[in-house]
Structure 1
């Protein structure tokens, strides 16, 4: 408990926020690394995932590749890239790319697969081209699930970007490695709390985005189904109550 109080005091200490190695600089570096990795991984994984979800081809290969990438130990991959590329951000960025691609790929093809095939057939019957179907039908409807994949990838990147300090001396992970080296556990725990807080803020932002990207028609349809289900449940309850009343009033 004392370590926790000391960690809070360390985070709130204005002296730790300034300077070239202060919290503000490290936080900016952490966000920049995470954003770069997320953008690069999205540029690679999202088009492939959308194509798989649209055509229905290559899903098994994508699942196998995603599973294989998930199984790789990030620290081991980072070490290999560090030995190959040397000190700098290239090794952490490549290692984090491998970590970020699976959830982005899964979210993209799952979002497109969630679209009712009858809706797509109706769009084709109206004369829409494949590109129009992707942009005007599948993408808007599947966007909440796709954003969910981006959200999951962003959280994994932010949590694992602490390892960037292992090779590049960048980001909030520096506080963890430095605190471990000097046995300053308040600094270590304080750095961990900063990473947790950053992840929670980003997760909340993506949760809002995920909520507001649901198309109005889909939202209304869900509400209608929810109302119909509630009405059905109420009707069943009334029927059951009536049967009980009849049974209790007319015992056999």
Structure 2
């Protein structure tokens, strides 16, 4: 199997044309980025509002858990039957998948902000918006970016469902390989998906390290260490 997979990757025909690795890889990344941008536009403002004001937190948590329980493949199939548009169905399904981790990370990040720091900001006369953008959000940034990384990993793994409704992406290798019992192609598609996830995670980790202030990063690590120590003692 290893030799067959290596041979599949080194076959020039598998890299060329609209059904080749390059084209399907770009299509897969396109679905992921489109769904991610839409999910960010929806989830980040909502998470900031609920985390800052405390309003609607119960509804937010309940709705997030309910959305997580939805099977993406079943949702995409239902949307395809409803709209008869493959791309619209796939993108909506992926957006629904990406919203909960981003929403949870944003909301949890604001909750993690020290109350003493927020009270001090209020005490020196900062407005609510100033507290949010200059105090709470910088402190929450590690968890916000962590939620985005989590969402991207889920999107890369799940964007393969686009092939189920006739679209491209790395899921084509999985679906087409299963259709003709070509397990070499199936394994190759799985490897490509895993490698894409690893590359994206490394890039996002570098972005997170560059964006999060060193002091906030060290404070977050200290908080995680204390939580782990407390868990060990318990």
Please state how far the C-alpha of 1:127 moved relative to its aligned partner: 1.5
Please state how far the C-alpha of 1:82 moved relative to its aligned partner: 0.9
What is the match of residue 92 of structure 1?
90
What is the match of residue 121 of structure 1?
119
Question: CA 1:221–1:74 in structure 2 vs 1: closer, same or farther (change >3 Å)?
Answer: closer
TM-score normalized by the length of structure 2 = 0.90
Which of the residues 8, 12, 23 maps onto 1:10? 8
Unpaired runs of 5+ residues, structure 2, are: 227-234
Which of the residues 155, 164, 167 maps onto 1:166? 164
- Tell me the distance in 1 between the aligned counterparts of 2:105 and 2:220: 21
Which of the residues 196, 199, 204 maps onto 2:197? 199
Please state how far the C-alpha of 1:205 moved relative to its aligned partner: 1.3
What is the match of residue 151 of structure 1?
149
What is the match of residue 37 of structure 2?
39
- Tell me the distance in 2 between the aligned counterparts of 1:168 and 1:85: 14
- The number of aligned residues is 224
Residue aligned with 2:22, SS:
helix
Please state how far the C-alpha of 1:68 moved relative to its aligned partner: 0.4
Superposition RMSD in Å: 1.8
What is the match of residue 79 of structure 1?
77
Please state how far the C-alpha of 1:8 moved relative to its aligned partner: 2.9
Equivalent residues of 1:92, 1:168 under 8 A apart: no
- Tell me the distance in 2 between the aligned counterparts of 1:28 and 1:19: 12
- Tell me the distance in 1 between the aligned counterparts of 2:22 and 2:168: 12
TM-score normalized by the length of structure 1 = 0.84
User: Counterparts in 2 of 1:207-246, with a 5 A limit?
Assistant: 207-219=205-217
Question: CA 1:72–1:193 in structure 2 vs 1: closer, same or farther (change >3 Å)?
Answer: same
Question: CA 1:221–1:113 in structure 2 vs 1: closer, same or farther (change >3 Å)?
Answer: closer
Q: Deviations over 1:86-125 (max 9, x none)?
A: 1420000111111111101100001111110111111111
Residue aligned with 1:169, SS:
coil
What is the match of residue 132 of structure 1?
130
| 2:87 counterpart of 1:62 | no
